[in-house]
Amino acid sequence: MTRSRTTSAARRLMLVHAHPDDETLITGGTIAAACDAGIEVLVVTCTLGEEGEIIGDELAGLAAQHADQLGGYRYWELQRALSALEAPESRGRVRGVFLGGAGRWRDSGMAGTDGSRNPRAFINAPLVDTASALAALIQDFQPHVVTTYDPNGTYGHPDHIRVHEVTHRAVELAAASARGWDVPRLYWSVIGHQAFQENAARLSGVPADWVREPGGGLGLFPDEQITTRIDVRDQRDRKAAALQCHATQIMVDLPNRAFALSNWVAQPIMDEEHFVLVRTTGHPVPDGQAAHGLFAGPGPT
Ligand SMILES: [Zn+2]
């Protein structure tokens, strides 16, 4: 990947995710909002999501225990989702890459599964290998903002926890390198508990065969630790369209602005997305940073 010199003054946002669909589920509105604000966006995905459960019968044979073709299919789901997040007038501002190239490291599945024991699994790769690969991307793209997961990996998936570890190590490696890049702002992307509960009010109207679990949701984060809230109401339609692109993983109920994963548990498409600022440096951020909350504001508390 080579970055054009003509874009060197632009603001740049890098989001590091574990599997295709995480970028939209957790940060889709932020990607779209950043795109609208003229920010260059690079989504780094660490695996192809080969171990995911598949919704519906038509594509069930792609699963890891059958044809093992899900990863290649989800590659294209991700490309379509990233395109859906862009506004028509800003085509090309959002790009996606896979860490180490597509298929370099494999989805590890949940703890204790066969997938977690695969020698190619992301969690089984030496941390220095995966972190060095990400550090190289950081040095090349020179992001002003990087996002990763909290130490619990949002909801405890081993690959998400590893993404947290890899990103923190990569940011250190990139800063220490002779030709390095000291990332000005590093965030954890999280889902705040209170906002989730408020958004969950619309779930009463979801399809009858979806499961409603009051208080449920992917790893809800303590509200008092959130430093940055991105209002994504204007981008919600594009986020919903991007969620629909991940059809092997996600069902979408547009009227109720809700979705469900393969466990059929109803969840709201959030009005805002949440971040925790965990690292700042004195490295300058280009002018105009107030146009997007991740680039502005005070340092960590
Ligand atoms: Zn994931």
Q: How far is CA 242 from the centre of its chain?
A: 12
Q: How far is ligand 1, taken at its centre, from the CA of residue 292, in Å?
A: 25
- Give the DSSP letter of residue 289: G
* Max CA pair span of the chain: 58
Q: How far is ligand 1, taken at its centre, from the CA of residue 122, in Å?
A: 12
Residue 225 falls inside a structural domain: no
Question: In angstroms, what is the C-alpha Rg of the chain?
Answer: 18
- Residue 151 burial (CB count, 10 A): 12
Residue 19 assigned ligand-binding role: yes
Residue 256 falls inside a structural domain: no
| Domain CATH number, residue 122 | 3.40.50.10320
Burial, 219: exposed, middle or buried (Cβ in 10 Å; 0-12, 13-18, 19+)? middle
Q: How far is ligand 1, taken at its centre, from the CA of residue 52, in Å?
A: 9
What number is the average pLDDT over the span 188-193? 94
pLDDT digits (tens, 9 = 90+) for 271-291: 999 999 999 886 666 654 444
**Is residue 29 within 8 Å of 241, Cβ to Cβ?**
no
* pLDDT for the residue 292: 63
Q: How far is ligand 1, taken at its centre, from the CA of residue 39, in Å?
A: 24
What b/e string do you get for 254-275 counting C-beta neighbours within 10 Å, with b at 16 or more?
eebbbbbbeeebbbbbbebbbb
Residue 155 — pLDDT band, cuts 50, 70, 90? confident
* pLDDT for the residue 301: 39
Residue 47 falls inside a structural domain: yes
Closest listed residue to residue 237, CA positions, set 257, 251, 220, 222: 257
Q: How far is ligand 1, taken at its centre, from the CA of residue 269, in Å?
A: 17
Q: How far is CA 290 from the centre of its chain?
A: 22
Q: How far is ligand 1, taken at its centre, from the CA of residue 9, in Å?
A: 32
Q: How far is ligand 1, taken at its centre, from the CA of residue 64, in Å?
A: 16
Please tell me the distance from the alpha carbon of residue 96 to that of residue 128, in angstroms, as a whole number: 22
Amino acid at position 157, single letter: H
Q: How far is ligand 1, taken at its centre, from the CA of residue 145, in Å?
A: 21
pLDDT digits (tens, 9 = 90+) for 8-57: 558 999 999 999 999 999 999 999 999 999 999 999 999 999 999 999 99
| Measured CA distances, 212 to 22, 201, 250, 299 (Å) | 22, 11, 16, 38
| Measured CA distances, 33 to 113, 146, 196, 209, 278 (Å) | 37, 15, 20, 33, 21
- The total of structural domains in the chain comes to 1
* pLDDT for the residue 158: 97
Amino acid at position 41, single letter: V
Residue 22 assigned ligand-binding role: yes
Q: How far is ligand 1, taken at its centre, from the CA of residue 21, in Å?
A: 7
Q: How far is ligand 1, taken at its centre, from the CA of residue 104, in Å?
A: 17
* pLDDT for the residue 220: 85
Closest listed residue to residue 183, CA positions, set 229, 127, 227, 139: 139
Residue 283 assigned ligand-binding role: no
- Give the DSSP letter of residue 18: S
* Of 281 and 240, the one with more pLDDT: 240
Please tell me the distance from the alpha carbon of residue 108 to that of residue 160, in angstroms, as a whole number: 10
Q: How far is ligand 1, taken at its centre, from the CA of residue 8, in Å?
A: 31
Q: How far is ligand 1, taken at its centre, from the CA of residue 110, in Å?
A: 10
Residue 257 falls inside a structural domain: no
pLDDT digits (tens, 9 = 90+) for 82-138: 999 999 888 889 999 999 999 999 999 999 999 999 999 999 999 999 999 999 999
Residue 300 — pLDDT band, cuts 50, 70, 90? very low
Q: How far is ligand 1, taken at its centre, from the CA of residue 160, in Å?
A: 6
Q: How far is ligand 1, taken at its centre, from the CA of residue 244, in Å?
A: 16
Q: What is the dihedral of CA 92, 69, 135, 144, to 10 degrees?
A: 30
Amino acid at position 238, single letter: R
Structural domain that includes position 55: 12-192+273-283
Residue 215 falls inside a structural domain: no
**Is residue 139 within 8 Å of 174, Cβ to Cβ?**
yes
- Indicate whether 80 pLDDT > 80: yes
